């Protein structure tokens, strides 16, 4: 399930170049207009019987269509942390390209982190991996994953995998996108296997290079083509 407490975003780094906020959907999604959605308080909303609308024992992925750590959301994020604390029966999955703003608006009782929060740090190239991941690993977070998406070049994650549970990799989707090379994906898989970290190749992107040949992959097939490679490393637990 997805929960978007606010909408709108703008570029944080190179991986954002072909984000839908910059593509044909820019107007529809309101690029640069950061606004609360009507689902802002969804996790704690109750029906007339006093029961939560969202039942427990779920994974709720939040801010996959905006960024949880946008400066414009600093005040709203305080309220969201309170909701997350109230719903200890839900696992919240938060993916960000702004991990360097993690400490802003963090609750005073955060301590070593809430058990039900799983934070994903996106890195799309080596420079960003070397900037964001040491920060990511220095923060008090109980559950961490890395998302190399869109993967724009070969990345060595080896120095940054200690304390990370999982790595997700994906290519870029759209018209004028950059190529995702299967060799880069396999190298990341190898690094994860050595570090005993689970790995999921979630999609090939629109241009996927294999054995020196670049293939154009239909958006509806990008997940299945990635899966057919059979390179995922799972520990049997569900992350998404
Ligand atoms: S941070 Fe995410 S949602 Fe925001 S512009 Fe970049 S890719 Fe798009």
69 Cα: distance to centroid of ligand 1 (angstroms): 11
Rounded-to-integer distance, Cα 236 and Cα 238, Å: 7
pLDDT surpassing 70 at residue 181: yes
C-alpha of residue 220 to centroid of ligand 1, in Å: 21
Peptide bond into 150 cis (omega under 30): yes
- Which pLDDT score, from 0 to 100, does residue 23 have? 63
pLDDT at residue 59 tops 80:
yes
Query: Which of 30, 97, 125 maximizes ligand 1 atoms within 8 Å of its Cβ, making it the mutation to test the pocket?
Result: 97
Cα of 24 from ligand 1 centre, angstroms: 15
Distance 71 CA to ligand 1 centre (A): 13
pLDDT value, residue 37: 94
DSSP conformation letters of 156-168: --GGG-TT--EEE
Q: Is 70 exceeded by the pLDDT of residue 239?
A: no
pLDDT on residue 71? 97
pLDDT at residue 29 greater than cutoff 80: no
- pLDDT value at residue 113: 97
Q: How far is CA 180 from CA 175, 208, 210, in A?
A: 14, 5, 9
What pTM did the predictor assign?
Answer: 0.94
In the chain, the DSSP E strands lie at: 2-3, 6-7, 35-36, 58-62, 90-96, 117-122, 143-148, 166-170, 180-181, 198-203, 207-210, 213-216
Confidence of residue 18 (pLDDT cuts 50, 70, 90): confident
What is the 48 CA–ligand 1 centroid distance (Å)?
37
Q: Is the pLDDT of residue 27 over 80?
A: no
Summarize the confidence of residues 28-50 as an average pLDDT. 87
Pocket of ligand 1 (CB under 6 A): 9-12, 16, 19, 21, 66-67, 97
Q: What is the pLDDT of residue 33?
A: 82
Q: Counting atoms of ligand 1 from 1, which one is nearest the CA of 96? A: 1
Q: Is the pLDDT of residue 147 over 90?
A: yes
What are the structure tokens assigned to 14, written together? 């190179």
Q: How many angstroms does the Cα of residue 122 sit away from the middle of ligand 1?
A: 10
Contact present, 121 and 132 (Cβ < 8 Å): yes
The pLDDT assigned to 236 comes to 74
> Region 213-239: what's the mean pLDDT?
92
Over residues 45-68, the mean pLDDT reads 95
Atom nearest to 20 CA in ligand 1: 8
Average pLDDT over residues 187-210: 98
- From the CA of 87, how far away is ligand 1's center (Å)? 26
- Residue 104: the pLDDT is 98
Ligand 1 pocket mutation pick from 67, 128, 151 by most atoms within 8 angstroms of CB: 67
* Residue with CA closest to ligand 1 atom 6: 16
pLDDT at 28 exceeding the cut of 70: no
What is the pLDDT confidence band of residue 64, given thresholds at 50, 70 and 90?
A: confident
19 falls in which pLDDT band (50, 70, 90)?
confident
The residue written with tokens 């801010």 in the block is: 63
């Amino acid at each position: 399930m997805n929960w978007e407490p606010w909408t709108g975003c703008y570029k944080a780094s190179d991986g954002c170049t072909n984000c839908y906020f910059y593509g044909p959907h820019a107007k529809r999604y309101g690029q640069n207009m950061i606004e609360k959605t009507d689902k802002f308080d969804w996790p704690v909303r109750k029906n007339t019987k006093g029961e939560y609308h969202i039942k427990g024992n779920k994974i709720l992925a939040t801010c996959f269509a905006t960024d949880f750590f946008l400066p414009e959301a600093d005040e709203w994020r305080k309220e969201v942390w309170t909701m997350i604390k109230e719903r200890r029966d839900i696992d919240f999955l938060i993916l960000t390209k702004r991990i360097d703003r993690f400490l802003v608006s963090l609750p005073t009782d955060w301590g070593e982190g809430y058990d039900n929060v799983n934070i994903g740090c996106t890195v799309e190239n080596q420079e960003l991996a070397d900037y964001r991941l040491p920060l990511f690993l220095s923060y008090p977070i109980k559950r961490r994953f890395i998302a190399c998406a869109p993967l724009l070049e070969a990345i060595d994650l080896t120095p940054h995998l200690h304390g990370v549970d999982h790595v997700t990799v994906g290519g870029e989707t759209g018209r004028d996108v950059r190529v995702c090379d299967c060799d880069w994906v396999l190298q990341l898989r190898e690094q994860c296997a050595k570090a005993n970290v689970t790995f999921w190749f979630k999609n090939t992107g629109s241009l996927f290079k294999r054995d020196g040949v670049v293939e154009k992959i239909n958006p509806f097939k990008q997940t299945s083509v990635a899966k057919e490679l059979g390179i995922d490393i799972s520990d049997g637990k569900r992350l998404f």
